[in-house]
Each structure stands twice: as C-alpha cells, then as structure tokens.
Amino acid sequence: MGKLTGKSAVITGAASGIGRACALSFAREGALLVIADLNEHEGTATAEQCIAAGGRALYRRTDVASEAEIKGAIEQAIAAYGRLDIMFNNAGVPGALGPIETIAAQDWDRTIAILLRAGYLGMKHAIPELRKAGGGSIISTSSAAGLRGLGNAAAYSAAKAGLVILTQAVAIEVGADRIRVNCICPGVIDTPMVNRGRQGGTEETLTRLAQTQQPITRVGRSEDVAAAALFLASDDSQFITGTAISVDGGFNTGNGWLGPREQKSTDFRGPSYLR
C-alpha cells in the first residue's frame, strides 16, 4: 500500500516543473489527483502520466487568480473522489521583475494575486473539506526568495514571504482540526519557469549559480521538491505544522561557497532563482 493510497489531492500548477513532479510522486503512492492548471495540453498529459504511474487523476482547467476556479477545482475533487485530504498550492509565475520603481501597479497586483492570494484562496476553500475528512495537509510552494529577499524581484519576494507567514498563521487556526499547514522553499531548481525567468539563461549559467551560491553545488531538480512534498502530504509528517522547509542545496546558509575552489560570483543580477 502506498503512502497516499485513497487520499484525494488538488495540486495547482501541476502541468509542468515542480507541480508535475509532485503529482507523479503522489500518484506512485496511490493518490487520487486533480491536476489544476491553465495549460490544458500539458495538464492533460500530466493526468495521463499519473494514471500510468498507478494513481487516479483528472485535469481541471484552473486560473488560480480566480476564486471561483480554485473553489471549482476543490469541488471537482469532492465530486470525483468523495473527499479532500491534501491541498497543494503550487501554481506560480516569475511575476513583475525589475527595479521597484519600474514595476507597474497592475503587474505587482497580478504577481501577488497568483503567488499569495491564490494560496489564501486554496486554504480558505480546502479547510472545510479537510475538516469533513477528519484532517489533512495543506502544502504551499514558497521560495528561498521568501526567506531572503531577491533584488529586482521585490513583488515575487514579498509574495513568497507572505506565503510563509500565512502558513504559520493558518497552522495555528486549524491545528485542533488535525489539519497541518506547511510550505516548501525551493532554491535553484531547473524548471521551465526558472528558465523563462532567467535573463540570458543558459544551462551553464544555472550551473554556475548552483556552484557559487550554495554548499551543495548541483542544480536542484523538481524531484528534490517532490520528495519534500510527499513527506508533508503523508502521515510521516503528522507532527509537523507551521513550517517552511528549505529545499535549496543550502542556499539559506548564507548565499555562497567561499572556499578555495573559486570565489563567490558577483556577476548575477536579477532573478537567479524563482522557485
């Protein structure tokens, strides 16, 4: 029996990258999944891969900036599986990038809507269903940028930091209901979103970032984050709540390897990591 056998989960932003890796990991452990994403082609492909991996899955088109669509994804899980056990607020975008004085207010608002407000909405609509199920797990994807601000990505950093504090606050509110609320803070992870967000980004650039800014010098993989997500979704973490888990190769230790191999690089400006 898998760690998530019979457990129903909604994962937003599951069409690619971290979300897809987490969905596949959950499926291998027997989860019943709703793949909630705007990308119908890739979202459907993720659902098919999850079924092939041994889980049950369906795709639901979801714009996480819309409260109605987040609520609809949760209702889809109830209709299909009869319950909700796991809510994973994962959808993300690089958001408004550049010096703070150049950021348009509407771009700031859109960034906050997708990265922070959507997490609140996912929690708001999941909690009543998790209570009905006797408890469960809420997971959100924050970022290393939510623990240490990133220049030229103020909106992204602020939203991700807000998600960390939202996680703590809601964990206090629902602990008595056996609902655990945690978030994951990835660092340099090789995903389609990060590759889109990097300026002039090549594989070599991403590798240099990992080698110069963290103790574990390889680039992170989506599967590294999926392992943490599976832990938080399963009963293995039943005494853990209100926590932000860093999955960042040690980036949080102080931003860099300063040993004899090479000096810390100062060549990187802008979004060096975005999830």
CA separation, residue 167 to residues 3, 143, 158 (Å): 23, 13, 14
Please report where in the chains the tokens 């574990």 appear, as a residue.
216
Which active-site residues does the annotation give? 156
Say if CB 43 and CB 19 are below 8 A apart: no
Say if CB 12 and CB 64 are below 8 A apart: yes
Half-sphere exposure of 244 (CA within 13 A, CB side): 24
Say if CB 111 and CB 100 are below 8 A apart: no
Which residues are CB-contacts of 96 (< 8 A; sequence separation ≥ 6)? 103, 104, 107, 108, 110, 111, 155, 156
Say if CB 111 and CB 96 are below 8 A apart: yes
Say if CB 70 and CB 62 are below 8 A apart: yes
Say if CB 85 and CB 132 are below 8 A apart: no
